[in-house]
Amino acid sequence: MSEPDVTTLSLNDVHRLALTALRRHDCSVEQAAAVADTVTAAERDRCASHGLFRIPGYVEALNLGKVDGFAEPTVEMLAPGSIRVDANRGFAPLALDVGAPPLIEAARTNGVAGLGLVNGFHFAALWPEVELICDAGLVGFAFVGSSSFVAPAGGTRKLFGTNPMAFGWPRSNGNSVIFDQASSASARGEIQLHERDGKEIPLDWAIDDDGQPTTDPTAALAGAQLPFGGHKGSGVALMVELLAGALIGDLFSYETTAADTPGGPAIGGEFMLAISPSRFVPGGDADAQLAHAEGLFAEMLSQEGTRLPSDRRYAARAETPATGATIPTSLFATIEALAGH
């Protein structure tokens, strides 16, 4: 079997390449740097699906004028524990960078604080923003609505987005426990990869246009994806719609899809929650709570076959500063061209 044609880049080169490609396509240094940070973090943690792979999509969204590459996010304190960040039709990462400090500050003061990010384009994973919250010693949640691809449990038509949610718990060793997952049974990209490779998909991933379960990826893409775990994933998807849509005054996935234009994910909202553990015990010292949680993690890990969510990423993070990130050479050539090299 022939070796895959890949190119290895240092993490600095990943950042430089992403930044240059975005800057050449009507994007401010602030917007481009925030996206490049997210892309580099994904390559660092070997989350290739949100790394350099996404740059052509970001550039397409800029070229089509769908995303405003010069948008400046604005922050408003609506109440002591309620922050609204308007991304003003820019990419989500800069709006999150701007919104995180007031969210952290408000959670430390009040015990709990929420952030509603509206009018943003979220192309990425949610763990980076949850990790920011956890790094401040807080418990974090994030919820993002997306384009309408998923049928509710028992239904036959797409309605919900693939609607990811993430939860994070801070640890004294710095490696917060974070899970970050879509509420669909599979990522949409997985179905597209099966279609490309001529492979069948599992029967519980999607239904066809007639609402029948299908193993045909093309029929699945024309039909609707299914939530994970039947009615349980459907409930999570519904919650994400409500939190990232109605609660913060943004659109539901089916509404944003109806108004969408080509060029990547539709515009939409994100809801984040930050909780200060020290505000939930008398005396305001979180050490005992964090130590208690370590006991749970140790019990869990004492069972063979288990691992903590995020530990795969942290293992990759320990290696990639030395090994660099590996991407297909064809993708490297595409991004080099976008960067004008």
Footprint of ligand NDP (CB under 6 A): 122, 124-127, 144, 146, 162, 164, 179-182, 187, 265, 307, 309-313
**Active-site hit among 190, 195, 255, 336:** 190
Task: Give yes or no: 176 in active site.
Answer: no
CA distance 132 to 152: 32
Nearer to ligand NDP by C-beta: 15 or 313? 313
Task: Give yes or no: 147 in active site.
Answer: no
- The string of DSSP codes covering 245-277 is IITTT---HHHHHHT--SSSSPPEEEEEEEE-G
Q: At closest approach, how far in Å is the CB of 338 from ligand NDP?
A: 21
| Cβ contact 202:217 at 8 Å | no
Nearer to ligand NDP by C-beta: 179 or 297? 179
Nearer to ligand NDP by C-beta: 70 or 179? 179
Where would I find the H helices in 186-323? Answer: 188-196, 217-222, 231-241, 253-258, 287-301, 311-323
Q: At closest approach, how far in Å is the CB of 144 from ligand NDP?
A: 5
Q: At closest approach, how far in Å is the CB of 220 from ligand NDP?
A: 16
Nearer to ligand NDP by C-beta: 164 or 170? 164
Q: At closest approach, how far in Å is the CB of 105 from ligand NDP?
A: 25
Q: What is the DSSP letter of 283?
A: T
Q: At closest approach, how far in Å is the CB of 127 from ligand NDP?
A: 6
Nearest CA to 310 among 139, 168, 115, 158? 168
| Cβ contact 225:158 at 8 Å | yes
CA distance 106 to 137: 13
**Active-site hit among 50, 147, 176, 241:** 50
**What residue is closest to ligand NDP based on CB?**
125
Q: Count CB-CB contacts under 10 A for residue 151.
A: 23
Which tokens is 189 given?
């990209």
Residue type, 295: G
Q: At closest approach, how far in Å is the CB of 332 from ligand NDP?
A: 22
Contacts of 122 (CB under 8 A, 6+ apart): 92, 144, 146, 265, 268, 270
| Cβ contact 175:143 at 8 Å | no
Task: Give yes or no: 15 in active site.
Answer: no
Coil, helix or strand for 322?
A: helix
Nearer to ligand NDP by C-beta: 66 or 122? 122
Nearer to ligand NDP by C-beta: 146 or 148? 146
Q: What are phi and psi of 145, to 5 degrees?
A: -80, 160
**Active-site hit among 49, 76, 200, 330:** 49
Q: What residues act catalytically?
A: 49-50, 190
